[in-house]
Structure 1
Amino acid sequence: MSSRDVILNRIRRALNGSPGASDGPGGSGAPGAEEPVDRSYLTEHGARSTEETVELLAENLADYRAIVHRSDADGLAELLARLLAVRGARSVVVPPGLDASWLKAADPVRVHDRAELTPQQLDEVDSVVTGCAVAVAETGTIVLDGSPDQGRRRSTLVPDHHICVVRVPDQVVSSVPQALQRLDPVRPLTWISGPSATSDIELDRVEGVHGPRTLEVVLLSGA
C-alpha cells in the first residue's frame, strides 16, 4: 500500500466518523497505519533557571531589534508615559481589557479598540499598547491571541509603534512546544519576533511593511 493510499484511507475514515474502519474494500487496515506518533523529543534546549530564561528572552528580543525595557508594577505607568512621549505619540490604541492604570500617566488621546475602527483610522494612530499571551525565550517571540488586553489583530499590525507588556516570569516559557501547550489553536494567534521587516533580492532591509516599524517590549516583574 502506497503512502497515497494510507492518506486517502485515513480521510475516508475521518469522513465516515469511524476510526476503526477498514483501509479498503474487505480490508482490515494497513499494519502500523495508526501507530502513535513518538513525541519523546525535547521540548526545550538545555536546563535554565527562571532568571536565565527571562534573560535569554531579553537577549533574543534585542537580537531581533526589539527595544527591551524592564519595570515593576509601581513604575510601569511612568515608563509607558515616557516611551509614548519620546515617540511623540499623540494617540494610542487601547484594547478593551487593558489595565487602566497602565496609561494613567500618559498624555496621548486614547483610541479604544472596537469593531467600527477601519484600517484607515488605525493608520492615523501613532501607537498601540497591549499585553501578551506568552513569550518564547529561545526564539525571542511574543505571541498575541486576541484576548481583551491585546485587542484585535489589526490593531497591533497597522500602527507603526507597538509597546507590548510581558509579565515575567509568569508569561515566559523556554520553547515553542511549551508555548503551544498554553495557547488555544482556534484563537487568532499572532507570532511576533521583532518589528515587521523584509528584504529585497539585494538584502536591503525595510521595516514596517506588514506590521509595526518599532516594537518595544516591557518585561514587567512583580505583577
Structure 2
Amino acid sequence: MSSRDEVLRRIRGAQTLAPPAPVEVPREYRVGRTMPDAERIGLLVDRLEDYDAHVYRCAAAELPVTLARVLDGVGARRVGVPAGLDDSWLTRFDGEVVVDAADIPAPDLGDLDAVVTASTVTCAETGTIFLDGSPDQGRRALTLVPDLHVCVVPVDSVEVGVPEAMARLVPERPTTMISGPSATVDIELERVQGVHGPRHVHVVIVG
C-alpha cells in the first residue's frame, strides 16, 4: 500500500466516526431580533462614531436644512447626487448639484466636493450601511470615488443585526456595505483613510 492509499484509508475511517451532518442548520434564533428605538439608534450612533463617521439626527421636515448645514460645514460647493434622489432634499443647498449619469466617466466623479445618497438598510450592531444601487443611491462609483459621502439613513430602515438587515436586501442587486470612512492599516499600524473609498462619511439619521 502506497503512502497516498494509507492517507486516504485513514480519512475514510475518520469519516465513518463522525456523526451525520444535519440536512439544514436551524437559523431562526438569529432572525427577527428587536430593540427599543432609542436603544437601537443609540447603538448605531456609537458604532458609526467609533468608525470616525460624523453623525447627525433630524426630523424628516428638517432634512433639507440639515443637509445644507452639513454641506456648508465641509465647504462643499459642487455636490453629486444619483438621478433618483428626492429633489426636495437639497432645496436649501445653494451650491451646484450635479446629477450623475452613466456617461460621466468615473474619474470625473473625483472632481465633486461631496455626494449625497439615500440608503437601503442599516445594521446597528455593526454600524454598517447597505447600498443596493437603487435610483436614490446610484452606481457604486458615485459613492466610492468622491472624497466625501453624505448618506441619509431613515430610522425605520435600521435593523438590530446583520441577519435582520440581510433579510431586507434583494440578493440580485449589487450591494455595497459602508462602515465609516474607507480605511486600511499598513505593517507599521499607520491608519490611512480614503484608500478604497471616501475619506469622510457623514450620516444623517432621519426620524
Q: How far apart are residue 101 of structure 1 and its match?
A: 0.7
Asked if 1:138 corresponds to 2:129, the answer is no
Q: Residue 147 in 1 paired to residue 134 in 2?
A: yes
Pairing 1:53–2:21 present:
no
Aligned to 1:76: 63
User: Structure 1 stretch 208-217 or stretch 104-113: which is displaced more?
Assistant: 104-113
Tell me, in whole angstroms, the C-alpha distance in 2 between the residues paired with 1:184 and 1:40: 20
Aligned-partner residue type, residue 203 of structure 2: V
Question: What runs of 5+ residues in structure 1 fail to find an aligned partner?
Answer: 6-30
For 2:16, the equivalent position in structure 1 comes to none
Equivalent residues in 2 for 1:115-194, closer than 5 Å = 115-168=102-155, 170-194=156-180
Root-mean-square deviation over aligned CA pairs: 2.2
Task: Show the counterpart of 1:205.
Answer: 191
Cα deviations across residues 92-111 of structure 1 (Å, max 9, x unaligned)? 11111111111001122111
Q: Distance in 2 between matches of 1:34 and 1:199?
A: 40
Partner secondary structure for residue 182 of structure 1: coil
Q: Give aligned pairs, total.
A: 193
Of all paired residues, the percent bearing the same amino acid is 52
Give the match for residue 216 of structure 1. 202
SS at match of 1:38: coil
Q: Is the 8 A contact 1:144 1:191 kept in 2?
A: yes
**Is 1:101–2:68 an aligned residue pair?**
no
Return the alpha-carbon distance in structure 1 between the equivalents of residues 32 and 161 of structure 2: 5
| TM-fit CA distance, 1:82 | 1.4
Shift of 1:147: 0.6
The TM-score normalised by the length of structure 1 is 0.81
State the shift of 1:133 in Å: 0.3
C-alpha distance in 2, partners of 1:216/1:35?
Answer: 44
Give 1:42's aligned residue. Answer: 30
The 3-state SS of whatever aligns with 2:167 is helix
In the alignment, the residues of structure 2 paired with residue 40 and residue 174 of structure 1 have an alpha-carbon distance, to the nearest angstrom, of 15
Report the CA distance between 1:34 and its aligned residue.
7.3
Q: TM-score, normalised by structure 2?
A: 0.87
Does the CA-based 8 Å contact 1:145-1:187 persist in structure 2? yes
Superimposed CA distance per residue, residues 54-93 of structure 1 (whole angstroms, 9 cap, x where no aligned partner): 1111111111111000111221111111111121112111
Off by >6 Å, runs of 4+ in structure 1:
none
Gaps of 5+ in 2: 1-7, 13-18
1:15-35 per-residue CA deviation (whole Å, 9 max, x = no partner) reads xxxxxxxxxxxxxxxx95771
Cα distance in 2 for residues equivalent to 1:39 and 1:147: 29
> How far 1:40 sits from its partner (Å)?
4.1
Contact 1:132 1:164 (C-alpha < 8 Å) held by counterparts: yes
In the aligned structure 1, how far is the partner of 2:162 from the partner of 2:28? 15
Task: Measure, in 1, the Cα distance between the counterparts of 2:61 and 2:22.
Answer: 55
**Alpha-carbon separation, structure 1, partners of 2:202 and 2:165:** 21
